[in-house]
């Protein structure tokens, strides 16, 4: 390990690639550490996610019980219960709600300091966000899922590649969600106040990502349109569907590929938006 | 007539302290550990102490924000917490680091709102506002939303807001914190003028001892939740043996083994060309200077009054 | 009298503040309409995927959810922003509230009443009227009264839940989202017939905390639908009583909280 690189992020002329990797790692670790200090908020949040897990789980199970053959929209009871508890856990991992850091920094003008760093701003926010997600995976995903497993029958995946594919899908979900959040926050560069777009995002993300009900409950044409035409299902619905093996293996893999396309597109878009914002910032002097 | 009385006033907080990886322990912190104090009508009292000494906690118990753990407290004959809303009508409060103004409204609108909240007759309100406007130069920013005001402007607004209902006691928690020199002076001279009328009792906490020297005859020093001094600034100096300092610049160094009665040598600098002495409280500076003149020829001299900051710093350390 | 005028002035003050953020207000308004519509759509979608939910048809379910959201939306409009108490406590802004000559709770409520949420009440009432027309209700004076009383009791009940869970911040400043498990969680619980839930979870929420009497029991009474869980037909009329008890508990918790308040900061 080149210890120097970690202390002087980004400045390593001899080995640029390795330097970037260590910088990225250090930034991610800082994100992890930061969220590890919010212990009480972690406990409070897990409690709330668990209560909502019970509520949503019972509702979906009642729906399945009333449906023909005990299957609703192609899910059996175990799959639905797993869908709910995985969703409650992932909710924080993909940070579906409440990330206003960039918008706040833009409004206060602190964002100018980001431009002084030798790290691209999009990367500079993505790396800590991945660290945050890793923390959430341990402390916000597992607790509700454990409670769910204690009180409900959950679905155990049968295909050997399902769990690794799920891990990849979660990673892509975090990146996709980051891209969206970055874009929503970046509206603050142009609007005086980004609260409007952020509220809109919070509202639509929950429904369109499949938090309130699996998107398969919608008519097929609508579900497909959402999947292909918007990045939202990739935030929650896809990872959950992958884990409960809702579809045959090829479809399972195709959904993750679609997620990857969206994630790449959103990151690219974020970079473009950031470049335009910087030009504007420079021209107007903040 | 005493406006404020505290008898055995205490406030304990329980805090959880991490003692191990998972273990936590409850610990009781005495923020205020038994204060007895009386303030007479028209007094101006300065309340000082290091961070965490219990100044703000005391002030918050006096204003009805915090419930005391034990002891008695009365302000204007009222018990602050049970009679909070009645008390609020007779006191004014300025918390230096918190705003009581409406963030998005211009000062003018905040003042109008406060008139309704405190149910002040319109003409009395107008008269007080007029006085504050001229004394604090509010006119240039009366129509600016509070969020756009500078700290100094905001503080002038806060002072006005606290006085519009004609309170008989004004509590100020660090009113000059973070202000620039000009704003500090404006706030101080305003408060001095207010205090000089004798209508308002003034209690202020501060870290800036210049506030106290300028405003308060009476100084209360609090440390670890207890009153360690209550009296005038002179009494503080006398009690802690503050001494005036004499600094002399000499053409020739003092002879070795010299002694000056009534003064202790503190330091010799510049190869013995500059000497500093602490004067004993009984000795006259003139006599000491005359004595020194017989030992070496003097070029310049200065007499430094005891510095209150030094005294207080010594007090905190003790 | 003077006190009332003082509260009125406080209320108008936040109106004037709003005017300085006109664009945001418009966006907020739009998102609130969208939110209200989505709440109903979520229930429709779930019922659409099946024939009955725990023995209740879509129409019956619609009556339950509309009674629940009338109560919740009203409470949310009036006292919903009390959940910002934790911010006030953390930043110490609560100090300013406590040094004014007015009650702390009414001040907090009036200082930023989210008027845009009024739209949600309107949507909820519209859905309630629709649900009443879709179902067959055998109208008697008692049932007609219940249609008015139940949403009002629901509002009082949810108001109590809002205040009680916000008070948690007096003891636990970092309580974060815990309060919403009971406020928004309570809304979600009352949006469905109680037999949807099971076991101890149902017992705690429906009867222990009283959420069963917000929408479910009144809906059963209106529809003359026997309670699969065995409470008598008139149990819906208990809803004001349950709400009053909840309000009493919330008042006690709030007062204890104010006494326990430890103003942070210097």
CB contact under 8 A, C17 and B88: no
CB contact under 8 A, C99 and B105: no
Q: What is the pLDDT of residues B50-59, one digit of tens each?
A: 877 888 889 9
Q: What is the ipTM of this complex?
A: 0.90
Which of A51, A63, A191 comes nearest C53 by C-beta?
Answer: A63
Domain co-membership, B11 together with B106:
yes
Mean pLDDT of B171-199: 88
Residue B215 lies in a domain: yes
Range of the domain at C33: 2-260
Range of the domain at B262: 245-317
Q: Which residues of C touch A56 (CB under 8 A)?
A: 188
Lowest mean pLDDT among A17-21, A164-168, C123-127: A17-21
Residue C10 lies in a domain: yes
CB contact under 8 A, C266 and B104: no
Which of C9, C17, C260 comes nearest B104 by C-beta?
Answer: C17
Q: According to the model, what pLDDT value does residue A252 have?
A: 92
What is the b/e burial string over B47-78, where b = at least 16 CB atoms within 10 angstroms of the residue's CB? bbbbeebbbbbbbbbbbbbbbbbebebbbbeb
- The residue length of chain C stands at 266
A neighbours by CB contacts (3+ pairs under 8 Å): C
Domain count, chain B: 2
Q: According to the model, what pLDDT value does residue C19 have?
A: 62
Q: According to the model, what pLDDT value does residue A4 have?
A: 41
C3 to chain A nearest CA, in Å? Answer: 34
Q: According to the model, what pLDDT value does residue B283 have?
A: 66
From B231, B264, B279, the end of a domain falls on B231
Domain co-membership, B37 together with B60:
yes
CB contact under 8 A, C6 and B119: yes
Domain co-membership, B227 together with B253:
no
Lowest mean pLDDT among A69-73, A190-194, B35-39: A190-194
Q: Which residues of B touch C256 (CB under 8 A)?
A: none
Split at pLDDT 50, 70, 90, the class of A9 is very low
CB contact under 8 A, B85 and C99: no
Domain co-membership, B122 together with B195:
yes
Q: What is the pLDDT of residues B119-134, one digit of tens each?
A: 889 999 999 999 899 8
Domain co-membership, B92 together with B219:
yes
Q: According to the model, what pLDDT value does residue A13 have?
A: 52
Split at pLDDT 50, 70, 90, the class of A264 is very high
Split at pLDDT 50, 70, 90, the class of A10 is very low
Q: According to the model, what pLDDT value does residue A7 have?
A: 42
Distance CA A76, CA C51 (A): 16
Domain co-membership, B296 together with B149:
no
Residue B90 burial (CB < 10 Å; 0-12/13-18/19+)?
Answer: middle
Q: According to the model, what pLDDT value does residue B72 have?
A: 92
Which of A48, A54, A193 comes nearest C178 by C-beta?
Answer: A48
Residue B63 lies in a domain: yes
- Give the number of C-alpha atoms closer than 13 A to the C-alpha of residue C65, restricted to the C-beta side: 26
C neighbours by CB contacts (3+ pairs under 8 Å): A, B
C204 touches chain A (CB under 8 A): no
Distance CA A259, CA A174 (A): 10
Q: Which helix (H) or strand (E) holds C243?
A: helix C239-260
Distance CA C90, CA C174 (A): 8
Question: Cα dist. A132→A5, A125, C103 in Å?
Answer: 22, 11, 41
- The residue length of chain B stands at 318
Which of C3, C8, C98 comes nearest B65 by C-beta?
Answer: C98
C101 touches chain B (CB under 8 A): yes
Domain co-membership, B215 together with B260:
no
Distance CA B59, CA C98 (A): 13
From B231, B265, B295, the end of a domain falls on B231
Residue B264 lies in a domain: yes
Lowest mean pLDDT among A66-75, A105-114, A202-211, C85-94: A105-114
Q: Which residues of B touch C10 (CB under 8 A)?
A: 113, 116-117
Q: Domain containing B27 — which CATH number?
A: 3.40.50.300
Residue C166 lies in a domain: yes
CB contact under 8 A, B174 and C266: yes
Mean pLDDT of B177-189: 87
CB contact under 8 A, A192 and C23: yes
Domain co-membership, B263 together with B147:
no
What are the residue ranges of helices labelled H in C80-198? 85-91, 94-98, 104-111, 118-134, 141-171, 178-190
Number of A–C residue contacts, CB under 8 Å: 109
CB contact under 8 A, A203 and C172: no
Better pLDDT: A54 or B299:
A54
Residue B86 lies in a domain: yes
Q: Which residues of C touch A191 (CB under 8 A)?
A: 23
Number of B–C residue contacts, CB under 8 Å: 94
Substitution target from A61, A62, A150 for chain C, most C beta carbons within 10 A: A62
Residue B240 lies in a domain: no
Domain co-membership, B258 together with B137:
no
Which of A44, A59, A193 comes nearest C196 by C-beta?
Answer: A59
Which of B113, B173, B174 comes nearest C9 by C-beta?
Answer: B113
Lowest mean pLDDT among A92-96, A231-235, C153-157: A92-96
Q: What is the pLDDT of residues B233-278, one digit of tens each?
A: 878 777 777 777 888 888 888 777 777 777 888 888 877 788 888 8
Q: What is the pLDDT of residues A151-182, one digit of tens each?
A: 999 999 999 999 999 999 999 999 999 999 99
Q: Could you give the percent of chain C with pLDDT greater than 70? A: 94
From B231, B258, B277, the end of a domain falls on B231
Domain co-membership, B57 together with B201:
yes
Domain co-membership, B166 together with B278:
no
B292 to chain C nearest CA, in Å? Answer: 49
Q: According to the model, what pLDDT value does residue C265 have?
A: 47
Substitution target from A50, A60, A66 for chain C, most C beta carbons within 10 A: A66
Q: Output the 3-class SS for chain A.
A: CCHHHHHCCCCCCCCHHHHHHHHHHHHHHHHHHHHHCCHHHHHHHHHHHHHHHHHHHHHHHHHHHHCHHHCECCECHHHHHHHHHHHHHHHHHCCCCCCCHHHHHHHHCCHHHHHCCCCCHHHHHHHHHHHHHHHHHHHHHHHHHHHHHHHCCCCCCCCCCHHHHHHHHHHHHHHHHHHHHHHHHHHHHCCCCCHHHHHHHHHHHHHHCCCCCCHHHCCHHHHHHHHHHCCHHHHCHHHHHHHCCCCCHHHHHHHHHHHHHHHHHHHHHHHHHHHHHHHHHHHHCC
Distance CA C186, CA C182 (A): 5
Angle between helices B122-136 and B107-117 (to 10 degrees): 140
Q: What is the pLDDT of residues B66-80, one digit of tens each?
A: 889 999 999 999 998
Lowest mean pLDDT among B51-60, B159-168, C63-72, C138-147: B51-60
Domain count, chain C: 1
C95 to chain B nearest CA, in Å? Answer: 6
CB contact under 8 A, C31 and A58: no
Which of C34, C42, C181 comes nearest A212 by C-beta?
Answer: C42
Domain co-membership, B90 together with B173:
yes
């Amino acid at each position: 390990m080149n210890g120097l690189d970690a202390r002087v992020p980004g400045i390593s002329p001899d080995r640029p690639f390795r330097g970037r990797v260590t910088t990225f790692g250090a930034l991610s670790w800082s994100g992890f550490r930061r969220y590890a200090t919010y212990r009480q908020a972690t406990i409070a949040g897990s409690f709330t996610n668990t209560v909502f897990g019970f509520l949503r789980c019972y509702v979906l199970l009642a729906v399945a019980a009333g449906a023909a053959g005990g299957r609703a929209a192609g899910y059996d009871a175990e799959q639905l219960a797993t869908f709910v508890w995985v969703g409650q856990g992932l909710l924080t991992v993909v940070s579906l709600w409440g990330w206003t850091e960039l918008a706040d920094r833009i409004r206060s003008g602190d964002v100018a300091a980001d431009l002084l760093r030798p790290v691209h701003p999009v990367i500079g926010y993505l790396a800590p966000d991945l660290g945050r997600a890793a923390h959430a995976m341990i402390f916000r995903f597992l607790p509700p899922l454990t409670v769910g497993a204690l009180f409900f029958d959950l679905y155990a995946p049968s295909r050997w590649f399902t769990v690794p594919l799920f891990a990849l899908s979660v990673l892509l979900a975090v990146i996709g969600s980051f891209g969206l959040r970055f874009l929503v926050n970046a509206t603050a560069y142009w609007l005086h106040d980004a609260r409007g777009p952020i509220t809109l995002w919070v509202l639509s993300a929950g429904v369109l990502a499949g938090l309130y009900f699996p998107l398969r409950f919608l008519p097929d044409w609508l579900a497909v349109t959402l999947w292909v035409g918007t990045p939202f299902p990739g935030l929650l619905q896809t990872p959950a569907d992958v884990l409960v093996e809702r579809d045959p293996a090829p479809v399972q893999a195709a959904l993750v590929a679609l997620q990857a396309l969206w994630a790449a597109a959103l990151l690219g878009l974020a970079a473009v938006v950031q470049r335009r914002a910087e030009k504007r910032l420079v021209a107007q002097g903040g | 007539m005493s406006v404020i009385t505290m008898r055995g006033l205490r406030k304990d907080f329980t805090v959880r302290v991490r003692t191990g990886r998972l273990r936590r322990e409850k610990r009781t912190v005495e923020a205020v550990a038994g204060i007895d104090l009386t303030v007479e009508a028209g007094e101006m009292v300065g309340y000082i102490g290091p961070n965490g000494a219990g100044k703000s906690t005391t002030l918050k118990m006096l204003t009805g924000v915090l419930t005391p753990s034990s002891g008695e407290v009365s302000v204007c004959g009222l018990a602050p917490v049970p009679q909070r809303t009645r008390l609020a009508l007779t006191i004014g409060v300025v918390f230096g680091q918190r705003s009581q103004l409406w963030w998005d409204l211009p000062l003018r609108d905040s003042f109008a709102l406060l008139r309704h909240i405190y149910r002040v007759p319109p003409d009395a309100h107008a008269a007080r506002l007029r006085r504050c406007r001229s004394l604090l130069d509010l006119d240039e920013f009366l129509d600016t939303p509070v969020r756009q005001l500078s700290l100094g402007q905001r503080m002038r607004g806060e002072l006005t807001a606290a006085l519009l209902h004609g309170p008989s006691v004004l509590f100020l928690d660090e009113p000059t914190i973070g202000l620039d020199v000009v704003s500090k002076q404006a706030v101080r001279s305003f408060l001095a003028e207010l205090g000089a009328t004798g209508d308002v009792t003034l209690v202020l906490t501060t870290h800036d001892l210049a506030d106290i020297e300028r405003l308060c005859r009476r100084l209360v020093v609090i440390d670890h939740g207890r009153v360690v001094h209550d009296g005038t600034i002179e009494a503080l100096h006398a009690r802690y043996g503050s001494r005036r300092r004499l600094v002399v610049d000499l053409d020739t160094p003092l002879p070795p083994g010299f002694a000056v009665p009534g003064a202790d040598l503190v330091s010799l600098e510049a190869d013995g060309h500059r000497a500093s002495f602490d004067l004993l409280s009984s000795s006259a500076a003139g006599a000491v200077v005359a004595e020194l003149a017989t030992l070496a020829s003097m070029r310049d001299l200065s007499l430094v009054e005891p510095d209150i900051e030094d005294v207080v710093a010594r007090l905190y350390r003790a | 009298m003077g006190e009332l005028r003082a509260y009125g002035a406080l209320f108008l003050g936040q109106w004037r503040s709003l005017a300085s953020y006109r664009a945001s207000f418009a966006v907020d308004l739009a998102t609130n309409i969208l939110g209200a519509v989505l709440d109903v759509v979520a229930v429709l979608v779930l019922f659409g995927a099946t024939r009955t939910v725990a023995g209740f048809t879509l129409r019956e379910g619609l009556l339950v959810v509309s009674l629940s959201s009338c109560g919740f939306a009203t409470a949310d409009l009036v006292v919903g922003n009390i959940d910002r108490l934790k911010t006030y406590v953390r930043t110490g802004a609560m100090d300013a509230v406590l040094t004014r000559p007015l009650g702390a709770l009414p001040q907090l409520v009036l200082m930023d009443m989210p008027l845009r949420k009024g739209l949600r009440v309107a949507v909820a009432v519209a859905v309630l009227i629709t649900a009443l027309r879709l179902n067959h209700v055998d109208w008697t004076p008692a049932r007609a009264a219940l249609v008015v009383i139940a949403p009002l009791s629901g509002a009082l009940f949810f108001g109590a839940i809002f205040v009680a869970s916000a008070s948690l911040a007096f003891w636990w400043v970092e309580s974060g989202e815990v309060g919403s498990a009971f406020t928004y969680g309570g809304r979600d619980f009352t949006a469905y017939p109680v037999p949807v839930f099971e076991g101890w979870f149902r017992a705690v929420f429906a009867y222990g905390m009283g959420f069963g009497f917000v929408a479910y029991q009144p809906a059963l009474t209106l529809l003359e639908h026997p309670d699969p869980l065995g409470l008598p037909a008139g149990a819906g009329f208990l809803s004001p009583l349950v709400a009053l008890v909840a309000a009493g508990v919330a008042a006690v918790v709030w007062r204890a909280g104010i006494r326990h308040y430890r103003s942070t900061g210097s």
